[in-house]
Amino acid sequence: MKKILVPVDFSKPSEYAARIATKIAKKIGAVIYLIHLIEIPSGVVDMGASSKFSIPESMLYLRKTKEKIVAFKEKNFPKDLKIEYFIKINTPFEGIRKCAHKIDADLIVMGSKGHSEFEEIMIGSNTEKVVRTSTVPVIIIKKDDKNFKLKNLVFASNFKKDDKAVFNKFIGFANQFKSKIHLLKINTPSNFESSREATKKIKRFIKRYELPKYSINIYNDTSVEKGILNFSKDNNSDLIALCTHGRSGLSHLFSPSVSKKLSKFAAIPILTIKG
């Protein structure tokens, strides 16, 4: 992992994402690429006779934006860390996707404005689109975490064959930080599996991998969402890893409506990897 892309909109969540990206980059010697997307009204780009904007006004707008991103860089990153930045005229979703492809990013770290509900983290338009379609792993940050570490990582899954490609990427990520991995299968009343059978399934799933530090966990709760939340809180987890599958986003794992009680879930960074 050598290249980390951090979308910047100058909000507090952007700052939180910058701090997490800094800690990751320092640990593995990665370069951070900042990208700010400008959705300029058509009149700014189209300098025809009917335009409401002049070329000087447009140049001033872009110059001010550059000054802001330079100030953001100086405020949120140490001088000894290599930082590159881009300012692109595009929609946030398209701009992030194209930039990640252009620089061959290994990881995207982005803040989520969200509201209090966990649903807003995952289904907010731009964040949800990036999570659902990105072939690059994405870490979603909502709150500041000055004590962020990557010692205890949760990999929540049903441990089906379809998730093995995701697990390969996750293991590559975890190994760089020498993290302990908590393999988590949630049992719910509507989808129950005995602990013995679930444990056997997980052991088959990880058979070909060498995992020096890991635990197998079968956790019972009233919903998958609550199970992941409660397990993660009980074990002081630093990050939760989930797999996404194409168009369905996280619908295979999360129910359409999520209780407001899961708002505390947002305090834990979430790593999503597309299968």
Same domain, 251 and 156: yes
Q: How many domains in the chain? A: 2
Strands (DSSP E) contained in the chain are 3-7, 31-38, 83-89, 107-111, 138-141, 152-156, 180-187, 214-220, 239-244, 270-274
Same domain, 156 and 268: yes
For residue range 76-125, what is the model confidence (pLDDT) as tens digits? 999 999 999 999 888 888 899 999 999 999 999 998 875 444 444 444 45
For residue range 139-182, what is the model confidence (pLDDT) as tens digits? 988 888 778 889 999 999 989 887 888 899 999 899 989 999 99
Which residue's entry shows tokens 């792993």? 137
State the pLDDT confidence band at 19, using cuts at 50, 70 and 90: very high
For residue range 39-76, what is the model confidence (pLDDT) as tens digits? 765 444 444 444 455 567 777 878 888 999 999 999 99
Same domain, 168 and 268: yes
Same domain, 161 and 259: yes
Same domain, 105 and 183: no
Supply the angle between the helices 125-133 and 92-103 in degrees, to the nearest 10.
30
Q: Of 94, 119, 144, which residue sits at a domain end?
A: 119
Q: What pTM value is reported for the model?
A: 0.84
Task: Provide the mean pLDDT of the chain.
Answer: 82
- Domain extent, residue 189, equals 152-274
Task: Look at residue 139 and give its three-state secondary structure.
Answer: strand
Same domain, 87 and 175: no
Give the pLDDT of residue 215.
97
Looking at residues 22-27, what average pLDDT do you find? 94
Asked whether residue 102 is domain-assigned, the answer is yes
Enter the tokens of residue 66: 């550059």
Distance between CA atoms of residues 174 and 1, nearest Å: 11
Same domain, 100 and 163: no
Same domain, 157 and 209: yes
Burial 226-256 (b: 16+ CB within 10 A, else e): bbbbbbbeebebbbbbbbbbeeebbebbbee
CATH number, domain containing residue 86 = 3.40.50.620
Give the pLDDT of residue 73.
95
